[in-house]
Amino acid sequence: MSDYEQIEGSIVFRGKTEAIYKIIVIGDPAVGKTSLLSNFATYQFKEKYLQTVGVSILKDTIELEDMDVTVNLMFWDIAGQPQFCMLHRLYFNGADGMLLVFDLTRFSTFSNINNWFNTAVKYGLSGIPRILIGNKTHLTEERKIIHPMAEHLGKKLNAQYYETSEVTGENVKEVFKKIAELVYEFKEH
């Protein structure tokens, strides 16, 4: 099938739709936000922990074949350290979607998700699509958060819940494809 179609004497381009969206990635320090993004973009895990200072921005493209669209996502990996909280308004501004990430082995990171979400709501982001991510499934012996607890929080926040591992890659591609779908459907319909 051609990308061009003739309609009543005119030639009309019928190519793929392309969209670009800003996704904020938020959660406490060392929950694996940067590692998840690195795994998704480069398909590899970096052993050494490097704390994000302020914000790190990564762009990646996702093809949504069933929707015939190319979605360009600008991921804003927002530092979890308290000293950067005064910059949150700037970083959160204009977000089209959010990923809320906690560490399955540290209860405090799970309980702080409510604070992160409330901050997003404070900056006017209560209506945007979101996904709750319990990261580090590969650390099964150290796990502190059981699946039903996280599912309950996801329902409370109106967020789909996924468990991932930045080390094994478990569910990483699925999460990023899902946020692309959710944001595209939200913005375009």
Q: Residue 7 pLDDT more than 60?
A: no
Rounded (10°) angle between helices 172-188 and 33-42: 90
The whole-model pTM stands at 0.82
CATH number at residue 73: 3.40.50.300
The mean of the pLDDT values for the chain is 81
Residue range 56-81: mean pLDDT, rounded:
80
| Residue 101 forms part of a structural domain | yes
Instruction: Supply the pLDDT for residue 113.
Output: 97
Among 7-11, 22-26, 46-50, which is the least confidently predicted range?
Answer: 46-50
d(C-alpha 112, C-alpha 7), whole Å? 56
| Residue 93 forms part of a structural domain | yes
| Residue 66 forms part of a structural domain | yes
| Structural domain span for residue 121 | 18-188
Q: Residue 45 pLDDT more than 50?
A: no
Provide the domain count of the chain.
1
| Residue 12 forms part of a structural domain | no
| Residue 71 forms part of a structural domain | yes
Give the percent of the chain with pLDDT over 70: 77
User: What is the rounded radius of gyration, in angstroms, for the C-alpha atoms of the chain?
Assistant: 18
| Residue 129 forms part of a structural domain | yes
Neighbouring-strand partners of residue 100: 26, 132
- Largest alpha-carbon pair distance within the chain? 67
Q: Residue 182 pLDDT more than 90?
A: yes
| Residue 56 forms part of a structural domain | yes
| Residue 13 forms part of a structural domain | no
Q: Residue 144 pLDDT more than 90?
A: yes
Q: Give the Cβ contact number of residue 27 at 10 Å.
A: 25
